[in-house]
Structure 1
Amino acid sequence: MPPADPKVLVVGTTADYIEWIRTCRPGQVLFLTDPGVRREADQPTPSPDEEILCDLADEPRVFEVLAHHLHERRMGLGGVACYDCESMALAARLAEEYRLPYPSVQAVNNCRDKYRSRMLWKEHHLDTPDARMIQSAGDAIQFFRETGGPCVLKPVSGSGSELIFRCDSEADCERYYRRIVHGLTQRLNHRLYQPFAEVGADILAEAYVGGEEYSCDFVLENNRVTLIRLTRKVLFPQDPFGTAKAYILSGVWPDAIDAGELERTLVRSAGALGIQRAVCMLDFIVHNGKMVLLEMAPRPGGDCLPSLVRQCYQVDVLQLVQDFSRRKPLVLNLPANPRPMVGLRLHAAREGTLVSLDARELRRDSRVQEIHLIRQPGHRIKRPPEDYDAWLLGHIIFVPDDDEVPDQCRDLCDKLAIKVA
């Protein structure tokens, strides 16, 4: 019997992404999934042909189980895709093993190590916050004094806003350094926080840079960039520092940055980290008319962003990544004048056991285009800094009216009735 059509190997993603992809691409994808994801999933379980369950922290076992699966089922691989930061290094090693296109392990590590990213960008004369690795609260205080504060403390290998704190005083430096140390101790077995061998400390201090925050996805190939989306972040002061409450898509281009400058910066910033061909995301701040680079990864933006791009542009980023992994020609037909949309993340205001979620009032709101709830009654809600995932209840996509977007976000959040015991 001849081998089946080559599959795209999706390494270590979430259950909702798995259901999205297998619905759009039935029989075309092989998922390599950590058992913990499947245990907590409400979505249907894929067939054994579609999904391999394996402890993704045990890389030798992953290689063994995958090779056995492909041999037994006479499957081939035509591409490797990854949507999650903690799985990118594993995806890079698997791509290398099966001689498939994917950024190198070194490029992935350059992205995952925030200090190394900063140093490489500075070497290439790109704007990024001044930063230093620290090994004590005293180091944090010394950095605060030298830079004149405020400063930001964060894990060197984290992602998003997890365990990231703004320090406005020396007392903050002391308090938040210890909080990060405690948080990292609780996350010793989390693949997102595995230390880098060449780094002697796990915590980074960087100068605080103010300004509007943006995030973008782009395709880099043949030293050219194709922009997929540029979104402006909406942040609420009461949320943990750095938490994006919402993303606005379309009509948010920063006045100080022209298209040519953006494209050149994307090419240079990716190249500085060793990325030659990938679908990437970049977070940056516009400060005094310049792009200040914060974080890059060879994956598209996650959370509500793929849904926002699909609703606003009619583009499926998750499928685009798979086609790109197979070396298919890029076809990206973005609408000329799309109406602005907002992806709003829904968070629980307090901890406890979720009793019910009632979205009927949201469904009656004419602005709302999509409601995606990811929690069921019985879910245990925890809040940052203890847990940055368990307080997320889902997201909505809406078309804003003439009022201020932050005000509309607050209004719509209030329309989700949440009961917690």
Structure 2
Amino acid sequence: MPPVDQRVLVVGTTADYIEWIRTCRPGQALFLTDPAVRREADQPAPLPDEELLCDLADEPRVREMLARHLDRWRLELSGVACYDCESMALAARLADAYTLSYPSLQAVNNCRDKHRSRILWREHHLDTPEVRRIGSAGEAVDFLREIGGPCVLKPISGSGSELIFRCDSEADCQRHYRRIVQGLERRRNHRLYQPFCATGADILAEAYVGGEEYSCDFMLENDRVTLIRLARKVLFSQDPFGTAKAYILPADWPEAIGAGELERTLYLSARALGIQRAVCMLDFIVHQGRMVLLEMAPRPGGDCLPSLLRRCYQVDVLQLALDFARRQPIELNLPASPPPMVGLRLHAGQEGRLLSADTGDLSRDSRVQEIHLIRKPGHRIKRPPEDYDAWLLGHLLFVPDADEDVAAQCRSLCDKLTVQVG
């Protein structure tokens, strides 16, 4: 009888991540994938023993099919990894069922529930925006009046900038509250918003906090924090509020906040949410010399960040998360002062059916190191607030000129992508 083969269970990730991991770590992962992801994928399907297709919203069926798959192919799980917010709760339950290391379901829910995370951070004396759970546009207006300044309306769950709006007036509160309610109604069957928004609109109002925005990845293990990367966000005023147009790695760190304070805050913010061991992502704002916490998830940052980290630091965070899941020792040998690099997200300027995306001018720009397009001709482009995924065409990595503003360089590079829409 052949020996048992050990695999890390990767729960609910995208086809490009699956291909990335399969290429770098052949035979080390078992991918639990929603059939819709595979149907829409341009990448080749994994081997039959490498991927299990099932409706990830049907947990009893997932458990049954997973048990049969492991038995059929004589596989044994050595860890659980997850790269997507909507699949973290399922990953937590499966890790518990197979007695594997992963943040608890309560910790996952503490992260996904933005109201709960704010309350817990405040209880642990960590800076985070003032927040209130609201059930009407009138309550949003009341909150705006009470804080005497701009506020931000957002769903209680979700990720990124989806359905997040800044309100500078009472009219803004009225209008944007309705937009979130309508957006949540369209997304009521989306796993990203369940179970928090399954029975109605769960919406938060929080005080707007200005300042530079940052994102970081770190490992928490044995009561010790190890910083993986710290990136500064570039935001464009014409984009939907909160949209990260680009990430600069490594970030210019404010002198007012020392490395010791950063690590202490990362540790306390994770433990306050019940995380004891995980690879985590944290978004925060530096406001008047202090860290103001926005959002945490027990997963590495996604989008263009893994490619940026691999190119700039020669660190593969997807493989790192795989090793972390199976408790392999990890040694990070980050360069002391690498030249800055920027991950620039490429968005479509108009809706319609994608006819072509010409990257010729980008390829001839000496600053550009990599170009990754994720859409093919025929893709249906939709724009926020209707859809926050379909307008993303891909990303590129570039080394910025030192004597020119990074945001200005991002704009000029975006203009070099020629997109035709029908």
Aligned mates of 2:175, 2:3 — CA distance in 1: 58
Task: Please give the alpha-carbon distance, in whole angstroms, between the structure 2 residues aligned to 1:387 and 1:29.
Answer: 31
Q: Is residue 24 of structure 1 aligned with residue 24 of structure 2?
A: yes
Partner of 1:364: 364
1:200–1:181 Cα change, 3 Å: closer
Q: Percent identity?
A: 79
TM-superposed CA distance for 1:251, in Å, is 4.5
Partner residue, 2:186: 186
The SS at the match of 2:332 is coil
Match of 1:343 in 2: 343
Moved more, 46-55 or 189-198: 189-198
The answer on 1:104 being equivalent to 2:78 is no
Q: Distance in 1 between matches of 2:189 and 2:3?
A: 37
Q: Distance in 2 between matches of 1:289 and 1:10?
A: 39
User: Normalized against structure 2, the TM-score is what?
Assistant: 0.98
Q: Does 1:392 align with 2:407?
A: no
Q: 2: CA distance between counterparts of 1:314 and 1:399? A: 15
Kindly indicate whether the alpha-carbon contact (under 8 Å) linking 1:7 and 1:29 is maintained by their aligned counterparts in 2: yes
- For 2:287, the equivalent position in structure 1 comes to 287
Contact 1:234 1:248 in 2 (8 A): yes
Cα displacement (A) at 1:250 = 1.4
Residue 51 of structure 1: aligned partner: 51
Q: What is the root-mean-square deviation of aligned Cα atoms in Å?
A: 1.2
Is the contact made by 2:10 and 2:29 (CA closer than 8 Å) also made in structure 1? yes
Map Cα deviations across residues 296-337 of structure 1 (whole Å, 9 max, x no partner). Answer: 000000000000000000000000000000101111110111
CA distance in 2, matches of 1:3, 1:134: 56
Can you list the C-alpha shifts for 1:122-154, whole angstroms capped at 9, x where unaligned?
A: 000000000011001111111111111200000
Aligned AA (2:219)? V
Q: What amino acid sits opposite 2:413 in the alignment? A: L
- Taking the TM superposition and a 5 Å limit, the aligned residue runs for 1:30-179 are 30-179=30-179
Residue 201 of structure 1: how far off its partner (Å): 5.3
Partner of 1:404: 405
Residue 5 of structure 1 and its aligned partner are, at CA, apart by 2.5
SS at match of 1:336: coil
- Offset at residue 370 of structure 1 (A): 0.7
For the 8 Å contact 2:135–2:203, the answer to whether it is kept is: yes
1:419 aligns with 2:384: no
* Structure 2 counterpart of 1:56, one-letter code: L
Kindly report which structure 2 residues correspond to 1:305-324, keeping only aligned pairs within 5 A, or say none: 305-324=305-324
* Equivalent-residue separation in structure 2 for 1:292 and 1:138 (angstroms): 27
Secondary structure of residue in 1 paired with 2:75 = coil
Deviations 1:388-411 (A, max 9, x none): 000000000000002100010011
Could you tell me how far apart the structure 2 residues matched to 1:212 and 1:19 are? 34
Matched, 1:226 2:220: no
Does the 8 A contact of 2:188 with 2:198 survive in 1? no
- State the one-letter code of the partner of 1:277: R
Q: Tell me if the contact between 2:144 and 2:170 (Cα under 8 Å) persists in the aligned partners.
A: yes
| Residue of structure 1 equivalent to 2:278 | 278
TM-fit CA distance, 1:47: 1.5
SS class of match (1:370): strand
> Which aligned pairs between 1:186-335 and structure 2 lie closer than 5 A?
186-196=186-196, 202-335=202-335
Per the TM alignment, residue 4 of structure 1 is displaced from its structure 2 partner at its CA by 3.1
The answer (yes or no) to whether the contact 1:309–1:317 under 8 Å persists in 2 is yes
Q: How many residues align?
A: 421
Deviation for aligned residue 1:200: 8.1
Q: Give the secondary structure class of the aligned counterpart of 2:354.
A: strand
Contact kept, 8 Å, 1:195 with 1:202, in 2: the verdict is: no
Structure 1: tracts of 5 or more residues without a match: none
Instruction: Name the amino acid aligned to 2:349.
Output: A
8 Å CA contact 1:133, 1:201 repeated in 2: no
- Check conservation: 2:184, 2:197, Cα contact below 8 A: no
Is contact 2:218-2:280 (8 Å) kept?
yes
The one-letter amino acid paired with 1:299 is R
Cα distance in 1 for partners of 2:179, 2:161 equals 14
Check conservation: 1:356, 1:418, Cα contact below 8 A: yes
Q: Which runs of 4+ in 1 moved over 2 A?
A: 2-5, 195-201
Give secondary structure in 2 for the equivalent of 1:76.
Answer: strand
3-state SS, counterpart of residue 312 of structure 2: helix
**2:234/2:246 contact within 8 Å kept:** yes
Checking the alignment, whether the CA contact within 8 Å between 2:184 and 2:201 is kept in structure 1 is no
8 Å contact 2:342–2:400 — kept in the other structure? Answer: yes
Alpha-carbon displacement from aligned partner over 1:229-278 (angstroms, at most 9, x marks no partner): 00000000000000000000014112221100000000000000000000
Corresponding residue SS for 1:276: coil
